[in-house]
Chains A and B, each alone.
Chain A
Amino acid sequence: MPDNFIKINGKTVQASQPYVAHVSELVGREQEMKKILAAWMMGSANLPLSPLLIGDPGLGKNRIVYECARMCAKELYIYQGHEDVSAEDLFCSVRFSDDPEKKMDYTVLSLATAIIKGGICFIDEIAKIRPRALAPLASLLDERRYLDSITLGERIYAHPGFRFIAATNTTDLEGNMLPDFIKSRMRPVISIGYPKREEIKRIIQTRFNLFQDNGTVLIEKFWKLWNSTYGNIPPSPRDSIYIFGLAMNISDLERIEQTLPYCLERPDLTPLIKEVHLEAAFEAFQNNYGKKSHA
């Protein structure tokens, strides 16, 4: 049986693949990570808790989960929530088999794979999923720790190593979108706030590993541009990375402009961002997001 197939009560099903994040060092967020790890720690008498991360877009909720999974050395299975998810979509689907000897193939999705293998299941944007689609999670997140799959016709009990976490944007929670039976099972509710200025600086420096001598000047320039447009509204790490990333690309483009055809993959170029590139990137950012507060 190939690696990605598992047996559930005699049925062979195809499992999902874990996600391995290839990301740079995480800056800050130690307290948030400690909270998640504390929630996942299982005592002799207590079941692990299932945290819910809440925060504005771009603050690094997913990134924190990747880091926690890495710290626990557990496989991470991610499910992206959206409005059209049905209850069964969360854990199993069935399709015509490629194998001429079989009629159908079962595929267990991220959640079910994590349950069976004892990995971490992370449902992103959980508040976007309709309440009735979330109903089966009730039995999984309390002391019962199982899931009933109609498609599979099986009850799947969670491996002791199974952990659950979900995230949602603050705005998605405004209409009280999460049903009470999920809210009451998803504890602790961890708010992810905006990083401090110093952390943004470290994120940029770590992420881009750039700047040579003008690094500080560029970061100061960034703050000046930001404050003049957005005042006290802080930038999210995603905004900051986007602006510096674009500035770097503009700078790279300038340097390869003479050589046609353009080679779009140029990892050999040493970054040489100047203030003018940053200004151009910021202008593009502003045009995309407007002057409104996007935080």
Chain B
Amino acid sequence: MPEASLKIHYKSAELYPVPSEHFNHIFASEVNRICANPNTQPEAIAVELGLNAAASVRDWLRELDICSEKPKPFPVMLGLLKRNYVIRASLREKVMELQKETCTDLSEIPPDVLYRELGITGHSLLCLSPVDSIIEAIRCSIELDIPLCGIDMNDIPDAAYKPVVIENPKYLTGDIASYIARNAPFAEAQREDEIDDRREIVMASRLKYLLEQFPRVLFVCGMAHWLRIEQFINDPSIKPARLPEGNTEEQKKFRRVVVHPLIAVEHTDLFPAIVSEYGNNRLPVHNSLFLSQDRISLNPSEIFLKHLRDAYHQYFLSIDNNVMHLSRNQDLERFHSFEEYLKNICLLNNKTVPDLFKTIRSAHETMSKDFTGSLVKSFMDFPWATPEEFPDCELIGNDPGDGKETGHVVIYNKNNLQVKEHLYVRTFPNGNPADSMKIPYEWDYLEELQKSLGSDMASHTWLPWDRLLTYLSYEAMKTSLRKQKVRKTVEFEGSILDGIDLKETLRAHAKGKDKIYVRDFSKEAVMDVNPLDGYPIVWILQPGVHKGADWSTLYEPLSYMEKYIRDNQYANRIKKECGTHMVAVILYGTRQRKSTGTSSNREITIEHSYGIVSFQPICWTNKQYARWAELSGYSRNPFCNLSFIEDGISNKIHNFYKKHLGTGIRQFDWPTKLILLALPFAKNILTVVVPDGYRIHAVVYEAAKKRRVEICSSSLSAFSQAHLDRLSLCYLVPTIATDPQCIYSEEIEKAIGQLQTDNQHLVPHSILDFGNGIP
């Protein structure tokens, strides 16, 4: 870093600006250096944040006790989430039109529509990254106990910041003034006149006011704004503007969140280890013992190489040689290409040390998946802050179902890890990074939590309902298989039976036989069927539009089956590649909750289903599920991690079906969607039970033909209405035990009005005994 700081004079006061590249430790370190040096130590600090945002950050940092004499470690990554209230002026007409079209007020338009139609994000996220110069400045203001002023506007509209290539600050020669002079004009290309002009005038006039109040001020802003702000400071027509009073009510609107590592990593300089090293090297600015010029000195390339070596070590020297033998040999041949490619990528991007994204992306494009995984593990190994440590904070993360869509995040419900809220956010102060990518990383903390939720807190279906669904599905399956099994071609003897068999007739004529052949379905009784042949079964109980209806999915977690699975290596691969949860049933319906009145105050959820897909009999033990998964080669059920379609049909799901059926599923009505959801998992037939008169969409037949699956539709009228009524009510209840099968408390039996042993007689033995003969 330069020996001398940038300094400008305004009247009799001195301004020490630090125009920064955000989330780059070199600039944070420069702030620290200025604040620690008695010759430059400021009497007030100004930052490019709104007044309320700056105050909120400062309050939180104080509470975290990271700036005291005996500071605690800076937790990474916490964030402040805030609603955006301002849109750019040029969008006015479009907004008006959208409101007219949707007959909805702007504030009520769903965030995905706003994002898609207008590019507006409903929220802003400020990540409290220790390596950001603004956060460092706020930290210094606490340590020095001097005034902190957020001099930017409180609300600013979305801006689309364009990435620019600037000189690497590592190779600074001379002082910061010449570095800024060389690079600020390039950084300026990121500005958006429509938004930034006003902000810069406001910041300059407030800075002038501050400089009238304090003889020495430190100002931290993005490099893109500095030239304009400097110009406005020198412009006498821009008058000093008094800073508004802080508004505690406004400050309360900032939601404190714990940021998922996959979002956090975008704000950790090159990679998370830089943050740790910065934390280890940083010295408090109020400690006069440390006054060296170069207070924080990191060597990112050394840190990078250490992690790269660790990844190589983990990958190439690990003992389990059988697993990745082939890919490892190929990787051994290719890792020079990977390094060369990465080096060239950095060269073209004017970087001396690769960041995490470039490294992972280069590995992804040149090496095997396993190697990339090893790299991710090495670079993402970091003591991330967890919601457990911050119980008052919500957890914000990328949408688990979606691919990497910039800005699309979710807030998790910490109690059951279900998605509570979908949001579109922009990170400020620098907008969403353009170069980020979806990293194949799974956070240990969430995995552990998920496991514990799986065994302790998740609700389970009510076994009598499971048995009823299994029984009815078995009956439907029998009808379909019967139809399929006994279809044959016979010679025409006066009745055309089920229609002329054209192919057979033509073949006969080609051979010179003057005969006509017809199709015949003789109704042979099928006594027993193998569930592997007939599942999945689709139940369309009440087609049509249902207000408030939504999707829900019932899972069999692989963790339940773990101890019964014989080929754990394969199961682990499925877990890694496809997901930890096997989808057992998908329901479309509405749900309501009912208190059980039990001491633990757990609730029963009643799903009123209009449609059901059952992928296998569901009254089984965990062992039988394991056998099913193995016998079906894990190919007859969808797998996922946190959610399948509960949060809407993600691009990943949509693309999966597009690939397997030749059509996506988003555009269809829910019954068609339900059938299409099941189709890729059928073997030869897919049984669809529908009300009389219901016509299955032609797209289903087209897709089925492509997959060589026959759609067998049965009528609901073939089943007893009482059974169908019970079938449409699925109870999700708390359990006492889940292995080998669910056991419920008596209170649950009372609340539902049924015994947990009910309906046992309905299930045929072939289903009850499935897989039991296999050790």
A interface residue numbers (CB < 8 A to B): 31, 34-35, 37-39, 41, 43, 45-46, 49, 174, 184, 187-190, 197-198, 220, 223, 227, 230-233, 291-293, 295
A230-B330 Cα distance, complex, nearest whole Å:
41
B434 and chain A: residue at smallest CB distance: A31
Task: Let me know if A291 and B94 touch, CB within 8 A.
Answer: no
How many Å from the CB of A224 to the closest CB on chain B? Answer: 9
Stretch in B235-243, B493-501, B523-531, B663-671 touching the partner: B663-671
How many Å from the CB of A28 to the closest CB on chain B? Answer: 11
Interfacial chain A residues near B366, Cβ < 8 Å: 49, 187-189
B346 and chain A: residue at smallest CB distance: A38
Q: Which of A187, A230, A233 contacts B365 (CB 8 A)?
A: A187
Task: Let me know if B160 and A198 touch, CB within 8 A.
Answer: yes
Task: Let me know if B663 and A292 touch, CB within 8 A.
Answer: yes
Interface size on B, residues (CB 8 A): 31
B699 and chain A: residue at smallest CB distance: A292
Q: Which of B336, B348, B654 contacts A34 (CB 8 A)?
A: B348
Known contacts being A38-B347, A220-B94, A232-B666, is A188 close to B659, with CB within 8 Å?
no
Closest 4 CB pairs of A and B: A188-B365, A38-B344, A46-B340, A293-B664
Known contacts being A49-B366, A174-B659, A220-B94, is A187 close to B344, with CB within 8 Å?
no
Known contacts being A46-B336, A233-B664, A292-B663, is A35 close to B345, with CB within 8 Å?
yes
A292-B664 Cα distance, complex, nearest whole Å:
8
Task: Let me know if B349 and A34 touch, CB within 8 A.
Answer: yes
Task: Let me know if A188 and B330 touch, CB within 8 A.
Answer: no
Task: Let me know if B435 and A231 touch, CB within 8 A.
Answer: no
Interfacial chain B residues near A188, Cβ < 8 Å: 341, 362, 365-366
Interfacial chain A residues near B343, Cβ < 8 Å: 43
A191 and chain B: residue at smallest CB distance: B365
25 contacts across the A-B interface (CB closer than 8 A) = A34-B345, A34-B348, A34-B349, A35-B345, A37-B344, A38-B341, A41-B344, A41-B347, A43-B340, A46-B340, A49-B340, A49-B366, A188-B365, A188-B366, A190-B365, A198-B160, A223-B117, A230-B667, A232-B651, A232-B666, A233-B664, A233-B666, A292-B663, A293-B658, A293-B667
Task: Let me know if B119 and A291 touch, CB within 8 A.
Answer: no
A43 and chain B: residue at smallest CB distance: B340
Task: Let me know if A49 and B435 touch, CB within 8 A.
Answer: no
A35-B654 Cα distance, complex, nearest whole Å:
28
A233-B664 Cα distance, complex, nearest whole Å:
9
**Interface positions of B from 630 to 682, Cβ below 8 Å from A:** 651, 654, 658-659, 662-664, 666-667
B334 and chain A: residue at smallest CB distance: A187
How many Å from the CB of B91 to the closest CB on chain A? Answer: 11
Q: Which of A49, A184, A232 contacts B341 (CB 8 A)?
A: A49
Interfacial chain A residues near B659, Cβ < 8 Å: 174
A43-B365 Cα distance, complex, nearest whole Å:
19
A184-B332 Cα distance, complex, nearest whole Å:
12
How many Å from the CB of B677 to the closest CB on chain A? Answer: 16
How many Å from the CB of A187 to the closest CB on chain B? Answer: 4
How many Å from the CB of A149 to the closest CB on chain B? Answer: 27
Q: Which of B94, B160, B435, B663 contacts A31 (CB 8 A)?
A: B435
Task: Let me know if B337 and A187 touch, CB within 8 A.
Answer: yes
Say yes or no: is B750 at the interface (Cβ < 8 Å to chain A). no
Interfacial chain B residues near A46, Cβ < 8 Å: 336-337, 340
How many Å from the CB of B334 to the closest CB on chain A? Answer: 6
Interfacial chain A residues near B94, Cβ < 8 Å: 220
A189-B347 Cα distance, complex, nearest whole Å:
19
Interfacial chain B residues near A227, Cβ < 8 Å: 116
A37-B344 Cα distance, complex, nearest whole Å:
8
A46-B337 Cα distance, complex, nearest whole Å:
7
Interfacial chain A residues near B116, Cβ < 8 Å: 227, 232
Interfacial chain A residues near B348, Cβ < 8 Å: 34, 37-38
A188-B365 Cα distance, complex, nearest whole Å:
4
A190-B662 Cα distance, complex, nearest whole Å:
24
Task: Let me know if A49 and B160 touch, CB within 8 A.
Answer: no
Task: Given A184-B333, A295-B658, output 6 extra A-B contacts at Cβ < 8 Å.
Answer: A49-B340, A188-B341, A189-B365, A231-B667, A232-B116, A293-B663
**Interface positions of B from 483 to 526, Cβ below 8 Å from A:** none
How many Å from the CB of B644 to the closest CB on chain A? Answer: 18
Interfacial chain B residues near A197, Cβ < 8 Å: 119
How many Å from the CB of A84 to the closest CB on chain B? Answer: 25
How many Å from the CB of A223 to the closest CB on chain B? Answer: 8
A293-B341 Cα distance, complex, nearest whole Å:
35
A114-B76 Cα distance, complex, nearest whole Å:
52
Q: Which of B330, B345, B347, B663 contacts A184 (CB 8 A)?
A: B330
A39-B664 Cα distance, complex, nearest whole Å:
35
How many Å from the CB of A135 to the closest CB on chain B? Answer: 18
How many Å from the CB of B664 to the closest CB on chain A? Answer: 4
B666 and chain A: residue at smallest CB distance: A231
How many Å from the CB of B439 to the closest CB on chain A? Answer: 15
Known contacts being A198-B160, A232-B651, is A39 close to B435, with CB within 8 Å?
no
B112 and chain A: residue at smallest CB distance: A232
How many Å from the CB of B362 to the closest CB on chain A? Answer: 7
B664 and chain A: residue at smallest CB distance: A293
Interfacial chain A residues near B344, Cβ < 8 Å: 37-39, 41, 43
How many Å from the CB of B660 to the closest CB on chain A? Answer: 10
Interfacial chain A residues near B117, Cβ < 8 Å: 223
